[in-house]
Every structure is written in structure tokens, then in C-alpha cells.
Structure 1
């Protein structure tokens, strides 16, 4: 059955596929890729025709921004993922994004799976390869545009194009070189995390048993990101480090992709005090949807219903002005990706989290093409107002970026 997410391709998309400017097999290694559309069955929200029309209208009239995605296309055979990533080239889901209804997407590239020069991620050279090859691909077509200012986001929307905001989940690759933050800014990066699960020079990640908080160098890095206008993310930072970042930053920070630990007790989720502190300083939490993260006791089979349990909890906790969505999805087998990079993607100790069923994908939130159509559809089905929907699908993010950028 057709779900609310099934949208026609944007008028500005003209059929470009990644690396069309190159010769396959000669200029780059070719992998069979997962389909961008239809890999799994569509999710039926049970909407009426009138509700579907309202979903389409809301996506036309208001900016829709995903605060965190990896909109690359994975190999059809996910066991080839390491070899695929070693080439430095990840195909980008241009067609899928053209059907997403999104105004802008925060693209976080390979991040913790980047292994061009090393088996372990977060090397400076790997990050530069990753960003440069992606933006070269983007530069050779005319639908997706790199956005480094809010005006460029709005201009892309006016022109029927999609804005890409370059983001990184951690600052690990800067090592102890503060000026590398400026270099990344020069390459177009406008959002960056502090630590990715494991501790680095800036602070502790959420997998560490002992969180020493933001380091002296970390405070200097926060100050430099504030001065440059790079939005700071604390999604993968430890609890104490997260609180320190919120307090040290002169502007609001993001939790770009997480959920509430009070709903599902795992370190990958944020405790109430961190979510409150982020909101009290003007920040926003983007609700996560990567497989087996934002589960809930009411919906332990991970689906859009589990995700929205975290959404409702956070709205009740801090108000609708401080909640958005950062689904953290890609095109292809996301569960297989996690299985392939278990050690690299460590998310911390379970803290007695309840057993839960494993799922092959998150129903209704499987990829960037479907997430926001289904999110808006769910909100419409649950009688949220136009103003409330406009805030959580993009307006709250725009407000924060107006202060940060």
C-alpha cells in the first residue's frame, strides 16, 4: 500500500547519478548498489486522502530539515561495505532525496565507518577524502547544493533544489590542532560533534565508563566553533561532557540524533538533565531512528511508533520549540552496516536495558526518502497543528542556526 512518504521526484531533479561525470570501472571501482526506492515495503499510516493532501501541503509550505542523515547508498551486498568505503567514494542518494520532501539535509558522510587509509575511523586524511569526493560529486550536478548559510538554504528551497549541510559526528580527527577546525569550516563544514562514543582530545564519548568532561583543549575547540559559526553536536558525547559543552558554548547546541533515556535506558539515549540543559540554553534535540536505538517499552519492535514515543516524551519534557528530527538513516541495509562496524560504532554499556526483538529495518523510518513524509503523516494523523508541525520538521532548527551561523 502507498505510504505518506511516496512523493514524486522534485521538479529540479534531472536524473543525475553519482559519478556520472566519470567512466565506470576505469575511473572508479563499481559496486552493485542497494535501491534508493522500494527496498522494503512502504509503511501505511492509514491516512485519508484529505490527510495525504495536508501532508503534501505542509511539505510544500514549510521548510523540512533533517538534522542528521547519512544519505549515501550502501552496496547491495553489505559484506562489501569495507571495500566500498576504502575507495573513498560513497554514492549519494540524489533520486531518493528528490522524493523525500526535504528542504535541507545534514549530511554526515562516512564518519565512524571511514576507513580509506586505516582500519580505524576518524583519521584526518580519511575525513578530507570523504568530504572532498562527496562535494566533487555534488558540484557536477544541479539539484543538490552545498549550503553554508541560512540564506543559501532558503535560496535552494525557492529554486526547487535541496540544500546539503556538511556535518561531522566528532572532532576526533583534529587531534590537538585547533586550526583544523578552521580548515574544515573552509571546506564547508557547518556542524560538528565533540566526541564519537570513545574519548578524544576534547572530551569523553558515551561508551566510556568514566567521563572526565570537557578538556581544556575541548573548551578551546568549543570557543573556536562558536567564533567560526559551526553548530556543535553532543549526540555521542558522555553525559558530563555533554553538560560541560552546553555550559561552555555561547550559543545553543544540538543533540542532532538521540532519544530519551527515560524512555529507553541505554547510554545512546540522553538523560533528562542533559535534554533540559540543552533546551534551557535554546538548543534542540533531533529524534533518532537508526535501528535498535529509539526503542520504547510500548513499541519494542523498532518502528516509527517507537521513534514517536521519544518525540512525545521530549515534547512533554522541554516543549515543542526544542524538538526536531535527525533520523540517521541511509539507503541500504542499516542493520548490516552496524553488524559490519560493531567495534567502530560502539555505543556504550547497556545499563540493564531490557531485551528487545531484533528487526531487519525500522518500519516507517527506513531511509531518507521516506522519513519526513511519514513523520509529517504521523503528526497529521495525531492532530498536531500546522504551526506545531512546522516547528518540529524544520522551524526549530532554523531558529538555532540563526543564532549559531
Structure 2
């Protein structure tokens, strides 16, 4: 595929790029509460440290908006009730920081966040089990989530649920009849169907069944690193062919050694663009802007966390005690600027880089969220 010839300024009309992280975090991982939460399988949102440093770092990075994970992902908590409680927690966080944060319901809100130099917060799930198991309640519960501001719903986490199989489920079932009903309800209420973490057949089935374009907001390319958390070219191509979106993460799964680098991130972006086209690829880092300060202490806690995930059956192939869940040379407040420079070195022009940084996500959101 040849590079775009567009001369659109990467910085956009306001002199700054619109940067949308399709899946990330907005907290300071260095606080005692955050360090304690890092050892838990499903920490509550009220344990997050959305503090002055986290907000300052997000601003300094140039971040415009981020899809954050809230609600039930795993564990013994009641999924529906826990999810509603976490939505309320994030509403309070945003209300406490009106000069810094803006809740995103539409793409206009992301543009507003950019103009006003605030950070747009997109509410998203990484597991759809909060809809429950009663077919008669699916539409009303999806409507409740939509009314509360949820805009992204990932169907599965790594394990199987009653909608379909996650990437680590050995049976690799496709989308279940209940899963099809949930996808239809998400379409009806204009919520993104996110197929990150899904098994291959579930991803392909959902992409074909959905009336709206679907996304894989944080993934890598399996052609470059054959691990279950990454997507095959068939999956990537189908998502793009149906006018969807693929976000590349800054995660260890980009390299079979587990020690992924910034160069690996760029390689996966380039491959995704070659497969999907330049209008369907962006970033979903799956990490925070604020960097971990003490990597040695973090590594000790990480070993405990990885062991707990493995014991609970929710870990993924490629997770190891000696592997940070981020790219060491592409983190902190300069991560997006560093990515821009690396993409420029690969010959990408400003227009294409602008698309990858955020415009492709905005265009995709327009196709799904618009009434």
C-alpha cells in the first residue's frame, strides 16, 4: 500500500494533534492505593488515583480522549450492580475535575475536549456479562448503560462467557445465540461492539452479524506475533472491510519474547495499515500516560499479579512474571510524540499519522454513535 499524499497538518486546526487512545488508563500507578490495586484481579474504580500528577501528565502528553475500562471484568462481584456502581464512581471523578475532564457521549464531545484542552473520558466495558443472562432483560440493560454514558462494550474478556469465547478459551466457539442478541441490542442503542480479547470465531461471527461497524480497540497482529491476544489478518481485514476500527496496543504481546519495544509497536501499526488500509487503524495502548517510577518494585508486584491471573484462569499466553505489561521505551508523557517521530522515520506523512493518532477513531465513532 502506498502512503497517503495528503498534506493535512498532523497538529490539526488547533495546532495540536487530536490523540484518542481507544483503550487506556487515566491514573497514577505510583500511589500506594494504585500499587495495592495492581495486585488485584479486578480493582474497583474508587481505588484509582486520578490525581494531580495523572491529570498533569495526560495534559502534557497531548492526549485528547481515552476509552477507560469500568464495570465488571472478572471475579465474584455481581456484574450488573458492580458496573452501575463503577459508572457512578467515574461520574464523581469527572464532576470533581471539571476543568480537566469531560464525559464523552458523542464525537462532538471529543472535539470540544480538544478545543477546551480537557481530556475526554469514554466509558467502556471489557466484558459484557453485566447484561446478565436473561434474554428478556438484554435490551433494557443495554439501554440503561447507554443512558448512563457507556459507549464501548467488549463482548468477552480472555475466558469464555455466555456470549462467546475469549482468546484463551480452547474450544474457540463462535458467537452464541445470546451473544447475537446482545450485539443486536448494542447496534440498536448505537454502542461500539468491541472484539478485543475475543476468540477468533467469536470475532468473525460478531463482525459479520453486527449491523454497525465493529472495533478491536486494543490488539496486535498475529501475523507478526502468533499469540492468542493478537488478531489474524482475516479478522483484521473483515473488521476494516465492514468500516470498523483496529487499535494497536503498547503491550508485550507484540513480541514473542515478551519484551516488546517501540519498534514492535510501529511494525504492528504498519502491518495493520497494510492489511486494513490507513483509514481503519489507530492506537489503543492499554496503559496509562503516567509512567511507573520504580520498575524494580513494580516487577515484584507483577509476579504476584500474573500468578493470581493464571490461577484464576483469566491470564493470556504471553503474560509472564518477568514481562512488563507495557513497552518500556514508549511510555510516559512523551509516548505519543515518540510514536509520531518513529512513524515519520518509516516514511509516514502527517495526514496518515493524524489518522492513526485519533482521526480514524473519531470517524469510526461517528459511524456508530451518530443517531
- The 8 Å contact of residues 59 and 101 in structure 1, kept in 2 or not, is answered as no
Which has a greater percent of helix? 2
Q: Do structure 1's residue 271 and structure 2's residue 271 form an aligned pair?
A: no
Q: Do structure 1's residue 289 and structure 2's residue 250 form an aligned pair?
A: yes
Q: Do structure 1's residue 257 and structure 2's residue 218 form an aligned pair?
A: yes
Partner of 1:224: 185
Partner of 2:345: 381
Deviations 1:362-386 (A, max 9, x none): 223334x333222212122333111
Q: Do structure 1's residue 128 and structure 2's residue 84 form an aligned pair?
A: yes
Q: Do structure 1's residue 323 and structure 2's residue 323 form an aligned pair?
A: no
Q: Using a 3 Å threshold, how does the CA distance of structure 1 residues 370 and 171 change in structure 2: closer, same or farther?
A: farther
Q: Do structure 1's residue 168 and structure 2's residue 122 form an aligned pair?
A: no
Q: Using a 3 Å threshold, how does the CA distance of structure 1 residues 180 and 308 change in structure 2: closer, same or farther?
A: same
Q: How many residues align?
A: 340
Q: Per-residue deviation at 1:342?
A: 1.9
Q: Using a 3 Å threshold, how does the CA distance of structure 1 residues 329 and 121 change in structure 2: closer, same or farther?
A: farther
Deviations 1:247-293 (A, max 9, x none): 01111111100011110011011111111111110112100113x22
Partner of 2:107: 150
2:186 aligns to what SS in structure 1? helix
TM-score (norm 2): 0.82
Q: Using a 3 Å threshold, how does the CA distance of structure 1 residues 258 and 162 change in structure 2: closer, same or farther?
A: same
Q: Per-residue deviation at 1:346?
A: 2.8
CA distance in 2, matches of 1:357, 1:94: 29
Matches within 5 A, 1:23-42: none
CA distance in 2, matches of 1:79, 1:103: 26
2:43 aligns to what SS in structure 1? helix
- The 8 Å contact of residues 55 and 373 in structure 1, kept in 2 or not, is answered as no
Q: Using a 3 Å threshold, how does the CA distance of structure 1 residues 129 and 360 change in structure 2: closer, same or farther?
A: closer
Q: Using a 3 Å threshold, how does the CA distance of structure 1 residues 149 and 86 change in structure 2: closer, same or farther?
A: closer
2:364 aligns to what SS in structure 1? helix
- The 8 Å contact of residues 340 and 353 in structure 2, kept in 1 or not, is answered as yes
CA distance in 2, matches of 1:106, 1:348: 21
Stretches of structure 2 that go unaligned for 5 or more consecutive residues are 1-8
Q: Using a 3 Å threshold, how does the CA distance of structure 1 residues 342 and 279 change in structure 2: closer, same or farther?
A: same
Q: Per-residue deviation at 1:127?
A: 2.2
- The 8 Å contact of residues 311 and 323 in structure 1, kept in 2 or not, is answered as yes
Q: Per-residue deviation at 1:123?
A: 2.4
Q: Per-residue deviation at 1:87?
A: 7.9
CA distance in 2, matches of 1:167, 1:211: 24
Q: Do structure 1's residue 342 and structure 2's residue 304 form an aligned pair?
A: no
Q: Per-residue deviation at 1:144?
A: 0.8
Q: Using a 3 Å threshold, how does the CA distance of structure 1 residues 278 and 187 change in structure 2: closer, same or farther?
A: same
Q: Using a 3 Å threshold, how does the CA distance of structure 1 residues 377 and 55 change in structure 2: closer, same or farther?
A: farther
Q: Do structure 1's residue 404 and structure 2's residue 368 form an aligned pair?
A: yes
Partner of 1:42: none
1:211 aligns to what SS in structure 2? coil
Which stretch of the first structure deviates more once superposed, 210-219 or 380-389?
Answer: 380-389
Q: Do structure 1's residue 237 and structure 2's residue 203 form an aligned pair?
A: no
TM-score (norm 1): 0.76
Quick one: which of 257, 261, 277 aligns to 1:303?
261
- The 8 Å contact of residues 193 and 233 in structure 1, kept in 2 or not, is answered as yes
Deviations 1:53-104 (A, max 9, x none): x987798344211111022223546762257935833122222211121221
- The 8 Å contact of residues 296 and 306 in structure 1, kept in 2 or not, is answered as no
1:224 aligns to what SS in structure 2? helix
Partner of 2:5: none
